[in-house]
């Protein structure tokens, strides 16, 4: 396995970059010690975040950070872009709002996959989503 730095980021410009971000997230969570379900969940959350950047903001980046506060370890992922922003965040966080439709998708899905979720978005300025997952 390649050596992973404490902090890193993957720029998202092309659809292919989504795969690179997933890979980075998976390698990092494996290194931290997450089991396969959690690795897959983290990768799925990254996928959704990166896809949103690719689809709605055109470009941005996914930043990774290993969390270690003596008591437990975890991973922190920040998806950041300077795209159009989301006018009504409350609405997109409602279950069933996604344009892709169906259950289990979109931002509410990401929130379920992770332990911590925060979104800051300003119309015309951009969007920043921060998620964390702790190793149990």
Ligand X SMILES: Nc1ncnc2c1ncn2[C@@H]1O[C@H](COP(=O)(O)OP(=O)(O)O)[C@@H](O)[C@H]1O
**Shortest CA distance to 87 belongs to which of 54, 46, 40, 121?**
121
Residues contacting residue 53 through CB under 8 Å, at least 6 positions apart: 12, 59, 60, 61, 62, 79, 81, 83
Pull the structure tokens for residue 26. 């998976």
DSSP state of 103: S
What character string, x for contact with other proteins (CB under 8 A) and - otherwise, covers 40-79?
xx-xx-----------------------------------
- Which option in Mg ion, ligand X, other proteins, none does residue 28 bind, with CB closer than 5 to 8 A by kind? none
**Shortest CA distance to 133 belongs to which of 40, 4, 18?**
40
Write down the least CB distance from residue 122 to other proteins, Å. Answer: 27
> Using the rule CB under 6 A, which residue among 20, 26, 44, 84 binds ligand X?
84
Which residue has the closest beta carbon to ligand X? 106
Q: Which residues of this protein are in contact with other proteins, per CB under 8 A? A: 35-37, 40-41, 43-44, 95-96, 102-105, 108-109, 112-113
């Amino acid at each position: 396995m390649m050596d992973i730095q404490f902090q890193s980021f993957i720029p998202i410009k092309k659809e292919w970059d989504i795969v690179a971000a997933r890979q980075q997230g998976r390698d990092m969570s494996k290194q931290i010690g997450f089991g396969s379900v959690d690795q897959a969940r983290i990768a799925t959350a990254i996928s959704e975040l990166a896809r949103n950047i690719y689809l709605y903001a055109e470009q941005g980046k996914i930043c990774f950070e290993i969390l270690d506060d003596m008591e437990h370890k975890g991973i922190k992922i920040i998806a950041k872009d300077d795209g159009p922003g989301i006018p009504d965040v409350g609405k997109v966080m409602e279950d069933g709002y996604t344009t892709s439709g169906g259950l289990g998708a979109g931002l509410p899905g990401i929130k379920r996959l992770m332990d911590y979720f925060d979104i800051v978005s300003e119309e015309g300025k951009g969007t920043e989503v921060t998620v964390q997952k702790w190793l149990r």
